[in-house]
Structure 1
Amino acid sequence: MESESVVGMVAIPAGRLIEPAMAMALNVHSSPGVYALLLGAGVSIASGVKTGWGVVQDIVGKVAAVRDPDNPDARSEAMADPETWWEAATSEPLGYSALLAAAAPMPASRQAMLAKYFEPEEGQDDSKGPTAAHRAIAQLVKRGSVRVILTTNFDRLTERALQEVGISPQVVSRPDQIKGIKPLTHSQVTVIKLHGDYADLEQRNTVDELDTYPDELQQLLDRVLDEYGLIVCGWSADWDKALVRAVEGTRSRRYPLFWSQYGQFSDAARRLTSQHDAAVIDGKSADELFTDLVSRVEALDRLTTAPITRDVAVVQLKRALPDPLRRIELFDLVDQAVTQITDRSTAEHKPVLATSATWADTFGSNVRGYRADSDTLLHLLANGVFHDDGTHDHVWQRAVERLVRLRDTMPNRYNEHLEKLRHLPALLATWTIGVAAILSHREELLARALYRPGWAAPHSGHDRQEPAWYLNPNLVLETEGMHDMHPSRNGDRLFYPQSNWLKDTLREPFRLVEPSDVAYSEACARFEFLASMAAMDTDIGFRAYPWVGEFFLDSFWGYDSNGLAGAIETELADTWPLLLAGAFGGELPRARNALTALTEWRGKHGRKW
């Protein structure tokens, strides 16, 4: 096997000046691929899968119950001390192979017996599945942080979690496999199952079986312990004598040893952590340990990696969009773009209080700032929604949900119109999603974009309202502020400054998906029209207020039913995509009533020139 180089990596002293969990994250982040995991039974507890010894106990108990059917305590007595009972009953030491041979002599029956312990039961696909810890470990492997996993478990939860993220691990469960494996540095990840696989007769479970390892396995284990840092989780060190000796035999460590302990330390564990001056992380379950590690490492990524440019992000999104194995990459692209917005939406960056003399400047500065901060996200949404087939609709929706929460807390002192601007990123995102859905003929998506998520002002006691109401541009963007910030080209006041600004400022994200300015303007007008119909779909009179905008102009609305209004009236039927997706409660009369209410409102209030 080729030698592996670990020269040049950074080792950060563990657990003295900083918290051990922090030290572990710093080491894993600074030295990708250098730390191996040693996983014990504690990692799989939450899955409902029995430990290897638990399986042995259970099978011995069943054998005892069959041998002595008239004794109701036979099973519990045997399970209390399986080795003693087995030797007394068979005159042979308890071994996994002998036990299976006695309980299920044929391969098919043996496989069926073992599968019940490790595979989901029929109709219960979520049982006996990978835990949050297994899935977090898979993320660490995917990002290249971990490349070697030692495990005393013989379930296949680690392998299943890796396969879920598109990784095919190199698995070693028998000594005879070692000679032919790829060098550890050449494999994306190698899972070394020290006690074998559950379907393997060479499994090691009993005290005698755990006393020594075959030479090939011992040499591989010694090499990993010598050349890699080690993160121990879920291993008690109580029974695995050969593994304890191997860890003891590693006299000088090149990298710190991190040991996560949930519960009381065994004497062997206490001795090993003391010998290697290990950083002990106490009181965390396996799920908590590894999900926390992933979060901390990703936080370090954000500090050390320059944000990708907008155009590069769009290219990456287009590559990930059709590939089911890159769904997490796509999710991360959008989520990181949202985080860039939320990180700069504090009162420090976007003031919510200003004097009367500075109010107009502050308003304009905040509007332009929110738009600039949202640029990458808006390009991702325009291209993503347009090219998607509905597979990732939950990703686009989550972006809006996170942005809506910018107003989930109320500052102590604020100007009403500056405070309402905190919903501007959500409005920009919703408008972009809506126009992209129209351009791609996926208007059913509007049933989600205009009706969810609900929101109510904090501590107001009001019912939660739909985006069609609380994201109305005329509520989010104060009219006088928009007149000052966005005059017409000749300096006059625009009839619909909010509508005109949104259409103009969001043109750029759509250049790649819709080159035609006319088609883009028509899509914007249609979105405003449909959003206004949703806003009029209410029994509460004062909330029936449309997204007053340029779609009201005769050039869009039309004459004698020949324009947009007439087209939508003609479309209204039980098969209308918005109705089928749940808009207007899925009720055609409600949609028609909303159109009528919008038409009447325009007749009373709208500008027609």
Structure 2
Amino acid sequence: MPVNINPIFPLSYNLADGRKKYVLFCGAGVSKDAGSPTGWDILLETLKLVRTQEESENKEYTDNEMETYYEENFKDFTYSEIIESLFPSMEEQREFLEKLFENKAPGKAHKLIAEWVKAGLIRFIITTNFDSSIEHSLDNAGLRGKYSVITDGKQVLTSKPWNHVENCRVYKVHGTIEQGEIKNTKKDLEKLDRDLEKDFLDIIERHGVIVLGYAGNNDDKAVMDCFNGRRFKGYTLYWTVHDNRIDDNVQELVERQDGRFIDIQSASDFLEEVLNRVEIARRGTEQTSEAVAQVRFKNLITSSSDIEIRQTIDEERRKLEKYFGNILDEVDGKNYESLWDGYLATFNYSLNLLSLFDQIIKYQNKYWENISPIFEEIHSLNKNRSKYGKDGLVNYYFFTLLEIVGGILLENKAFELLRSLLDIKRLNYRKDGMEPVLDWDMQAQFIEVKNEEEVKEK
């Protein structure tokens, strides 16, 4: 019986050796954080044009209104059938798509794909996406001229064989909106060009495959035929899924090929986590979540832009505050064990944020101003300024946060930042003066009860 471990662990170790044994297959989900439209988005935009003509009224429709319109009028039609009905020719489809993708800058996931290439993890990227965000990210990462792009069978025949590619090649199996044919209708999606299909199948048979942001529905027949025709299982098929949404045909495919599903929150989160775990594997360090967070934030602080660093800090603060708020909603304020469990859950969740704080204090302490608001944000969750129940949980976690961050500052001899921490003030309860941080409520009645119960048990 196989050991039940996170499938990202073996994937990271297999990528770490630099032999480029895996190929990355990207669907529309990879472009989501860049604001690029998915197939569903394109479908709704197409139906807006249809509805505007039917109702002879040019108005703005919400997504919910359009989803209802689709369910009532077009649910028995596929995406490709609807697109083809309004834009019969390929050139008309291209013009429509160009407008939808216009001025879309590469997103975080695209940039991380380029980082995968720079780190020597992959040499082949296969995508169903029409846009050029992956190519732009490769260019921005200093890889211009070091990769090639294949969009049809003619280019396959006039390019070096795939097994002679050393650095990187991008296969756009549905074409590109910039030139040549695009595959967007049901008829188009039934079959790939013979030479393009041969390269595609050869590559996925001789490599492991990481499928990212791709639903794998049966409408995309030619691509799914290639996946189903993949026979060699020397390297694993990893299929990422979001919210456990798996089509039956994908479930059957992955099981038949002894593949693995990986649950992800987003394409960029997955790409970043794997990149960080590969670095840990290459260093021979244990792949704990704390180690991954430390690598991630060290890379962020030492190599990212000022705006990206500040945005990441603010985002991590918001995530912690939201998580703690959910914990406060869930715990039983009258049960000390429930409150203690809530404290432990929040503390464990905040380890990533504390790793970020540690890296900032070590390498870029100018971002302290983005850290310091966390203390008032957390303590403001104590609505009654008391030590009882959930208010006590807030106080105790706040005390822990203050103590740990203070310890990090002392360890790094960041005395000026420590002074600024102790100088944090807020309006007092009576609203007639300012209250220094060390005078904020830190008592927790549930801790007193917990200690008393533990003494009784002894």
- How far apart are residue 95 of structure 1 and its match? 6.6
Q: TM-score, normalised by structure 1?
A: 0.45
CA drift of 1:142 comes to: 0.7
Q: Distance in 2 between matches of 1:153 and 1:210?
A: 13
CA distance in 1, matches of 2:200, 2:142: 27
Could you say which residue in structure 2 is the equivalent of 1:299? 280
Per-residue displacement from partner, 1:263-292 (whole Å, max 9, x unpaired)? 211111101111111121114321111010
Amino acid at match of 1:115: E
- Which residue number in structure 2 is paired with residue 159 of structure 1? 135
Instruction: Name 2:208's counterpart in structure 1.
Output: 229
Of residues 23, 36, 46, the one that matches 1:36 is: 23
Alpha-carbon offset, residue 29 of structure 1:
0.8
CA contact (8 A) 1:130 1:160 kept: yes
Task: Give the 3-state SS of the residue equivalent to 1:455 in structure 2.
Answer: helix
CA distance in 2, matches of 1:187, 1:47: 29
Counterpart position of 2:37: 50
Q: Which runs of 5+ in 1 are unaligned?
A: 1-12, 121-127, 305-327, 333-394, 412-418, 427-452, 465-609
- Shift of residue 190 of structure 1? 0.9
The answer for the alignment partner of 2:150 in structure 1 is 172
User: 1:97, 1:29 → 2: CA distance?
Assistant: 47
Change (3 A) 1:456 1:223: same
- Identify the match of residue 278 of structure 1 among 234, 238, 259: 259
Which residue in the other structure is 2:270 paired with? 289
Q: Give the C-alpha shift of residue 300 in structure 1.
A: 2.2
The verdict on how the C-alpha distance between 1:142 and 1:211 changes in structure 2, with shifts beyond 3 A counting, is: same
Moved more, 287-296 or 50-59: 50-59
Task: Compare 60-69 and 221-230 and name the one that shifted more.
Answer: 60-69
Shift of 1:16: 4.0
**2:301·2:363 contact (CA, 8 Å) conserved in 1?**
no
The SS at the match of 2:190 is coil
Alignment of 1:234-383 (within 5 A): 234-238=213-217, 239-263=219-243, 264-303=245-284, 331=302
Indicate how the Cα distance of structure 1 residues 26 and 229 shifts in structure 2: closer, same or farther if over 3 A, else same. Answer: same
Measured after TM superposition, the shift of residue 42 of structure 1 is 1.4
Give 1:138's match in structure 2, choosing from 90, 114, 118: 114
After the TM superposition, which of the residue ranges 146-155 and 280-289 deviates more from structure 2?
A: 280-289
Indicate the residue corresponding to 1:202 in structure 2. Answer: 181
C-alpha contact (below 8 Å) 1:97/1:201 kept by paired residues: no
Quick one: percent identity of the two aligned structures?
A: 25
For the residues of structure 1 that align with 2:107 and 2:12, how far apart are their CA atoms?
Answer: 20
Q: TM-score, normalised by structure 2?
A: 0.58
- In structure 2, distance between residues paired with 1:18 and 1:277: 15
What is the distance in 1 between the residues matched to 2:33 and 2:367? Answer: 34
Aligned to 1:209, the other structure's residue is in SS state helix
Aligned residue among 185, 188, 194 for 1:215: 194
After superposition, give the CA deviation of every residue in 1:133-152 in whole Å (9 maximum; x if it has no partner): 22111101011111101111
Cα 1:421/1:30, change in 2 over 3 Å: closer
Contact 1:25 1:293 (8 Å CA) reproduced: yes
Distance 1:58 1:420 in 2: 56
Aligned to 1:311: none
Contact 1:53/1:206 (8 A) holds in 2? no
Among 176, 181, 186, which residue is 2:165 paired with?
186
Q: Structure 1 147/454 Cα, relative in aligned 2: closer, same or farther at 3 Å?
A: farther
C-alpha spacing 1:176/1:103, structure 2 compared with 1 (3 Å): closer
SS of 1:208's partner is: helix
Picking from 113, 127, 148, the partner of 2:124 is 148
Question: Which whole-Å CA distance do the structure 2 matches of 1:201 and 1:24 have between them?
Answer: 35
1:199 positional shift? 3.4
Task: For residue 230 of structure 1, report the CA deviation from its aligned partner.
Answer: 0.4
Q: Distance in 1 between matches of 2:18 and 2:259?
A: 18
CA spacing shift, 1:408–1:77, aligned 2, 3 Å: closer
- CA deviations over 1:214-247 (Å, ceiling 9, x no partner): 2112111111111111001111111212211211
Q: Paired residue for 2:407?
A: 410
The 3 A distance-change label for structure 1 pair 82 and 202 is: farther
Q: Give the secondary structure class of the aligned counterpart of 2:182.
A: coil
1:40 & 1:32 partners in 2: Cα distance? 24
Corresponding letter in the other structure for 1:206: T
CA distance 1:420–1:31, shift in 2 (3 Å) = closer
Compared CA separation, residues 29 and 102, structure 1 to 2 (3 A) = closer
CA contact (8 A) 2:362 2:412 kept: no
Counterparts of 1:253 and 1:301, CA distance in 2: 25
Give the CA deviation at 1:156: 1.5
Preserved CA contact (<8 Å) 2:406 2:418: no
Q: What is the SS of the residue equivalent to 1:43?
A: helix
**Aligned equivalents of 1:179, 1:215: Cα separation in 2:** 11
Which structure is higher in strand share?
A: 2
Secondary structure of 2:186's match? coil
1:99 is aligned to 2:84: no
Higher relative contact order (CA 8 A, sep 6+): 2
Aligned AA for 1:455? L
Query: Quick check: 1:42–1:234 contact (8 Å CA) kept in 2?
Result: yes
Aligned residues: 315
Cα 1:272–1:85, aligned 2, differ >3 Å: closer, same or farther? closer
Match of 2:290 in 1: none
Output the CA distance in 2 between the equivalents of 1:77 and 1:462: 55
Q: Distance in 1 between matches of 2:261 and 2:155?
A: 34
| TM-aligned CA deviation for residue 129 of structure 1 | 2.4
| Distance in 1, Cα, partners of 2:77 & 2:211 | 33
Equivalent runs, 1:8-23 vs 2, <5 Å: 16-23=3-10
Superposition pairs for residues 108-123 of structure 1, below 5 Å?
Answer: 111=95, 113-120=96-103
Give yes or no for contact 1:63–1:103 (8 Å, CA) kept in 2: no
Asked whether the 8 Å contact 2:206–2:232 carries over to 1, the reply is no
Paired AA for residue 184 in structure 2: N
C-alpha distance in structure 2 between counterparts of 1:302 and 1:240, whole Å: 41
- Cα gap change, 1:97 to 1:171, in 2 (>3 Å): farther
Distance 1:116 1:93, change over 3 A: closer
Distance 1:283 1:410 in 2: 34
Q: 1:220 to 1:83 in 2, by over 3 A?
A: farther
Gaps in structure 2 of 5+ consecutive residues: 286-298, 304-358, 372-402, 426-458
After superposition, what is the alpha-carbon deviation per residue over 1:331-384, rounded to whole angstroms, capped at 9, x for unaligned?
56xxxxxxxxxxxxxxxxxxxxxxxxxxxxxxxxxxxxxxxxxxxxxxxxxxxx
What SS class does the counterpart of residue 170 from structure 2 fall into?
Answer: strand
Find the aligned partners of 1:422 and 1:60 in 2 and give their Cα distance: 59
